[in-house]
Amino acid sequence: MTAPKKLFIKTYGCQMNVYDSERMAEALALRGYEQTGEAAEADMILLNTCHIREKAAEKVYSELGRLKPLKAEKPDLKIGVAGCVAQAEGEEIVRRQPMVDLVVGPQSYHRLPEMDAALAEGHRALDTEFPAEDKFDELKRRPKAKRGPTAFLTVQEGCDKFCSFCVVPYTRGAEVSRPAERIQAEARDLVEAGVREITLLGQNVNAYHGHPGGLAGLIWALAGIDGLDRIRFTTSHPNDMDDALIAAHGDCGKLMPYLHLPVQAGSDRVLKAMNRKHTAEHYIRIIERLRAARPDLLLSSDFIVGFPGETEADFQATLDLVRTVGFGQSYSFKYSPRPGTPAAERDQVPEDEKADRLARLQALLTEQQAAAQRAMVGREVTVLFEKPGRMPGQIVGKSGHLHAVHAEGPADLIGQIAPVRIRDAAPNSLSGALI
């Protein structure tokens, strides 16, 4: 019997890339590959890249540089670049790094088996097209091997919003939604494999239209699957937070009380320059309606500081919005230009001003997160335990609010949901006792 080939995948960026890496591994299993956690063992190394963060491409080239000695030791090692950097800079990657054998964009990874076959015949493989066929139609059904209790499930890809700072419409393409029946089939397979919580993924997930009832309709359909106990979704746009989805937060018991809803800024002038097509007041009214439907909802958001043209008054408007809403968790970044996006061509805010604003915003967000953590002390929460903790006899999982929770308990609770009384709050986790 031929020994299996080894595949090492390094995943950058968002949860969608985590999902994509899983599917790439499944596709290459058809060519005899099994995954390894050690690059030195691999017959193929794939870098599944993200183009959202600053200097994303340079980080990929730096990683490729670190792989050069390994390639020199193992001339038959295949090295590939996948994902959004591959989509944006495929030909440049091949030009700058001749050792790269394979470049594949995020919409073409279903073609990996054919690309690997081409490599076996001595040809370099490059595919950064937006293919006419749906990659999800082409991929085989997911294997039903035993899985952990949580999983990601992509339901929508691409974005039609064209925020002036964002490369997603150029690297992931236009919005496309998967048919609800196929999502339900994949969800049932995941549940049969041991999954109890599914996070629905999309670049603009609440623009999902593969079900007549939109994302809310899909959530209700998935809620009918026996054994699926928890549903989450990310990432959303305020303009697609419709009445049905707001109502589902109050009415659907399987939809968890956590929502990531990026606002990016609190200044209407900056929001207009970002092409967000909503105002700060519109965002706040949505939050009010969500909290009326689900009073214990924990909110998360994204913020960009130092956007071109942002003044101190604009930044103060962002701080005001944060104080008004109150977030349990958030992500904040200095603006950095993305080549090819409209904002990249505008006059930039000085770096020292960006850094100062980011520090002030993060101080406020950290204070709010700490307050949200402390507010959980004394409360009873349900926890889906996912793995052993660092200490003997400890198990770790997530509450409905997505807080990391650790408690002393038997290992056979992993994969189960159990009530926990929260006793203490740390900056990034909670501790409690099983009830």
pLDDT of residue 420: 98
Mean pLDDT of the chain: 92
Residue 335 in this model has a pLDDT that exceeds 90: yes
Domains of the chain: 5-127 (3.40.50.12160), 135-304 (3.80.30.20), 380-434 (2.40.50.140)
Q: Which two tokens stand for residue 98?
A: 């001749």
Residue 239 in this model has a pLDDT that exceeds 80: yes
Exposure of 19 by Cβ count < 10 A (0-12 exposed, 13-18 middle, 19+ buried)? Answer: middle
- Is the Cβ–Cβ distance between 430 and 376 less than 8 Å? yes
- Give pLDDT tens digits for 2-49: 678 999 999 987 788 888 899 899 889 989 999 999 999 999 999 998
What is the rounded CA–CA span in Å between residue 285 and residue 178? Answer: 30
Mean pLDDT value across residues 165-179: 87
Exposure of 388 by Cβ count < 10 A (0-12 exposed, 13-18 middle, 19+ buried)? Answer: middle
Residue 247 in this model has a pLDDT that exceeds 60: yes
Residue 171 in this model has a pLDDT that exceeds 90: no
Residue 1 in this model has a pLDDT that exceeds 60: no
In degrees, rounded to 5, the angle at the alpha carbon of residue 366 between the alpha carbons of residues 360 and 370 is: 150
pTM of the prediction? 0.83
Place 70 in a pLDDT band, splitting at 50, 70 and 90: very high
- Give pLDDT tens digits for 248-268: 999 999 999 999 999 999 999
What is the rounded CA–CA span in Å between residue 435 and residue 14? Answer: 34
Mean pLDDT value across residues 404-424: 97
* Positive or negative torsion for Cα 322, 325, 328, 331: negative
Percent of the chain at pLDDT > 90 equals 74
What is the rounded CA–CA span in Å between residue 166 and residue 336? Answer: 10
